[in-house]
Amino acid sequence: MKRKINKQLIGIAVVGILATMLLMTAVFYDLFRRQVEDDLKINAYILKNTGIFLQDHSDEISLHMENLRITWIDESGDVLYDDDVDADEMENHADRPEVEEAFADGEGKAIRTSSTLGRSTYYYAIRLEDGSVLRVAREANNMFSVFQSALPSILVITAVMVVLCIFLARFLTGKLIQPIEQMAVDMKDGTIKPVYRELVPFANTIRAQHENILKNAKMRQDFTANVSHELKTPLTAISGYAELMENGIARGPEVARFSAEIRKNASRLLSLINDIIRLSEMDNMEDAVTFEQVDLYEVACKCADTLRVNARKHDVSFALQGEPVMIRANREMVIELVNNLCDNAIRYNEKNGWVAVTVKKNGDKGVLVVEDNGIGIPKDHQDRIFERFYRVDKSRSKQTGGTGLGLAIVKHIVMLHDASLELVSDEGKGTRITVAF
């Protein structure tokens, strides 16, 4: 950035200096040209006023003025006198622009390039009282030679200015960038103070990202600690029961009971690991989820078969109603979401309770409602149940085979689908969770 600003500043300076120099040369040349023209005009008037050319004895006239060429042309354009070349040898001058102009308007001027490079001939013609034209001419420098003579000073001044600009650009960009560099240093300690108003949005974004990174790191740390803890409990149980059996302490019916405990804990471990894998997969697939057209009702119907068996085990009735609704979704994830919500509605229910699943359309959205008349969720827990490993009643969750990750997975799926989720629950009365895709 520094280099870019430097380059641009120097570029602008060089262009500026060159443009000024060229303009100055043009202005200077214009002044010079006017001066030459004025001199010629004065000379012409002096000659006119002396009246020499009104008495027609051109042969005798001999005027030699330094640097000045005098030509006298009659009304038809024939040269009567020229102090440089023999008048008889000269061609008709009626078509010379300055002469033409003088015949028409009384005076005329023109500039013509000379054979010598860098020189031009300046002409001024004036009509005399008898209708003839007197023309004076002078050879002088033209624009090119004015520029040429100014070139060395232009180059020197440009060089000096460029060097000055380089130093100035360095100094100014340094001053401009220094606070930004300081900001980068400060950022390492987490304090971001934007020095320029324009940097406030930039600083805010960085601050938000910084906080997000910290929050994510903390979440990951907590999650790892929780995972280790959750895995340790069933493993300790398995290892304990196995040890009892190994040492022959368990006998007869106890062997079957301990084996059942070992199996229960092992399947708990499996569910835990499955849920953890699913969550970490979802964490990593943000952009890589494949969506297709899915009939939400059809998915719910397919899940219902297994859920009904589960509901019967818990003495809970299970009802599904609705209509086909097409949504854009990942089929596997929708199955997982329906299963998790219904599974909770069954597990956190009372004997003879009910679970009602409804699939309906709401505008262009497909809506899934899972409702139960189970134990409900206390108000002060409702905000947190979607956190990983958060449970209201830990022992009930574990007893029913919960991992504490079901709703975290649901929330993640809802997020990946840009869907919305609503929870309404009353302790002791029941829970209703609505997902709109």
Contact footprint for ligand ADP (CB under 6 A)? 344-345, 348, 372, 374-377, 385, 390-393, 397, 402-408, 431
As measured in angstroms, the least distance from the Cβ of 188 to ligand ADP is 38
As measured in angstroms, the least distance from the Cβ of 383 to ligand ADP is 11
Contact between 5 and 174 under an 8 Å Cβ cutoff? The reply is: no
Backbone φ and ψ of 405, nearest 5°: -115, -10
126 dihedral zone (left: phi>0; alpha: psi -120 to 50; beta): beta
Residue 69: in which H helix or E strand, if any? strand 68-73
Short-list 121, 80, 116, CA closest to 97:
121
As measured in angstroms, the least distance from the Cβ of 337 to ligand ADP is 11
Q: How far apart are the C-alpha atoms of 77 and 91, rounded to whole Å?
A: 9
Q: What DSSP string runs through 219-267?
A: HHHHHHHHHHHHHHHHHHHHHHHHHHHHTT-S-THHHHHHHHHHHHHHH
Nearer to ligand ADP, 322 or 404 (CB): 404
As measured in angstroms, the least distance from the Cβ of 385 to ligand ADP is 4
As measured in angstroms, the least distance from the Cβ of 206 to ligand ADP is 34
As measured in angstroms, the least distance from the Cβ of 391 to ligand ADP is 3
Nearer to ligand ADP, 133 or 311 (CB): 311
Nearer to ligand ADP, 145 or 310 (CB): 310
As measured in angstroms, the least distance from the Cβ of 407 to ligand ADP is 3
Cβ-based neighbours of 141, under 8 Å, separated by 6 or more = 32, 118, 119, 120, 149
Partners of 365 in the beta sheet?
362
As measured in angstroms, the least distance from the Cβ of 379 to ligand ADP is 12
Classify residue 108 by burial, with Cβ atoms within 10 Å: 0-12, 13-18, 19+.
Answer: buried
Contact between 127 and 55 under an 8 Å Cβ cutoff? The reply is: no
Q: How far apart are the C-alpha atoms of 299 and 339, rounded to whole Å?
A: 10
As measured in angstroms, the least distance from the Cβ of 257 to ligand ADP is 25
Contact between 230 and 272 under an 8 Å Cβ cutoff? The reply is: yes
Nearer to ligand ADP, 172 or 392 (CB): 392
Assign 35 to helix, strand or coil: helix
SS3 string, 354-414, reads EEEEEEEEECCEEEEEEEECCCCCCHHHCCCCCCCCCCCCHHHHHHCCCCCCHHHHHHHHH
Residue 72: in which H helix or E strand, if any? strand 68-73
Strand order through the sheet with 133-141:
79-82, 68-73, 133-141, 119-127, 107-113
Nearer to ligand ADP, 173 or 403 (CB): 403
As measured in angstroms, the least distance from the Cβ of 322 to ligand ADP is 19
